[in-house]
Structure 1
Amino acid sequence: MRVRATALLVRQHAVLLVKERGGPWFLPGGDLRPGELAMAAAIRELHEETCVEASAAAFLWQHVSAHHMHQVFRVAIPADARPRANVRAGIDDVRWVELSQLARMSVTPGTRAILERAAGVTGTVSRPDWRGGAGASPGF
C-alpha cells in the first residue's frame, strides 16, 4: 500500500478536484518522494498539478483506501489564486465542485470517502470554521 499526500481545499462550499485525461476526478496529491514529509508532498503536488502555491496547511486525518494510505491535509490558497490544469504533470482539468455535484461525477473511491468524511452529518464539505475567500479557517 502506497502512502499518498492528499490536499483538501474548500472554497465557498466547493472542493478543488483534478482529473487526468480519461480518468476519474480526485483530490490533488500524490506519492511522497524518499525522505519527504507528507505535508511537504501535499503542498508540492498541489503546485505541480494546479500551478498554485499553498498559503497554509494542516493535517486532518489518515484514510486507508484500496490502494493508498492517504495523509489528508486541509490546505488554503490565496483568495486571488486561480488553479489551472498543468498538462505537463498529466492533469487535464481542474474544477471547484460542490458536494451536490459529486453524485453525477466519476470520482475515485478514496476521494469520495474522504469528502463524505469531510462533509460529516451536515451534508456539506464546508464547515463554519472553514469559511472565507480561500477557504482558510480562523487561525490558519
Structure 2
Amino acid sequence: MNMHFKPRRATCIVECDHGILLTDTGHDMILLPGGQANRGESRLAAAIRELKEETNLQAHAAIFLFDYESRSNRHKVFYLIATGTPIPMDDAKALYYSDTIPADKAAKLSPATKAIMEQFKTVKAEHQHHLDALREICLRDRLPL
C-alpha cells in the first residue's frame, strides 16, 4: 500500500508503575493507546482524546517523540503524562502493562506496538532526565493540558 493512503494514527506512550500502558481491542490484538485523527484534528489532539476515551486518563503533558510507519498506519508517537485511574473504555476491552502482561496476552502485541516500544527504549535512554523533569513538574502542580 502506498504511504500516502495509510491512515494517520496518534499513538500514546504512557508509563505507569507496572510499565507502559497497553490496550486490548478485543480483536485479538493488543496495542498502545491511540487511534486515527479526525478530519481537521491534529494527531496531538487525537492522542489526548483517544487516551481519555480508551483509558479514562487525563493527560497533563504530551510531547512528540518520533514518527513510525507500520504496514497499515503512519504513527506520530507521543509521550503523555496522565493522571486518573485507568479503566478500559470505548474500544479498549482490557488494559495491560508492558512489565506485567501475561505471556498469552504478550503474544498478541501488534508488530507495530513492539517496534514502537523498542524505539521508545532508545529515546528514553537518551532523554531520561528530560522525561523525569517533565513528569515531576506536571504531577507536582497537576498542570492541565
Corresponding residue number in structure 1 for 2:29: 24
| Deviation digits for residues 95-140 of structure 1 (CA, Å, limit 9, x no counterpart) | 2221897794310111100001111299x8x9454459xxx53555
CA distance in 2, matches of 1:107, 1:31: 19
1:1-140 residue pairs with structure 2 within 5 A? 1-12=6-17, 14-78=19-83, 81-86=84-89, 89-98=90-99, 104-120=106-122, 127=128, 129-131=130-132, 137-138=135-136
Q: TM-score if structure 2 supplies the norm length?
A: 0.77
Q: How many residues align?
A: 131
Instruction: Indicate the percent of aligned positions where both proteins have the same amino acid.
Output: 29
Report if the CA contact (8 A) 2:18-2:97 is conserved: no
Report if the CA contact (8 A) 2:12-2:51 is conserved: yes
Larger RCO, structure (CA 8 Å, separation 6 or more):
1
Amino acid in the other structure paired with 2:108? S
Q: TM-score if structure 1 supplies the norm length?
A: 0.80
Q: Which runs of 5+ in 2 are unaligned?
A: 1-5, 139-145
CA distance in 1, matches of 2:25, 2:12: 16
Q: CA RMSD in A?
A: 2.9
Q: Which runs of 5+ in 1 are unaligned?
A: none
CA distance in 1, matches of 2:116, 2:72: 14
CA distance in 1, matches of 2:47, 2:123: 26
| Deviation digits for residues 48-99 of structure 1 (CA, Å, limit 9, x no counterpart) | 1111111110111100000000000000012xx211111xx22110122218
Q: Kindly indicate which of the two structures has a greater share of residues assigned to helix.
A: 2
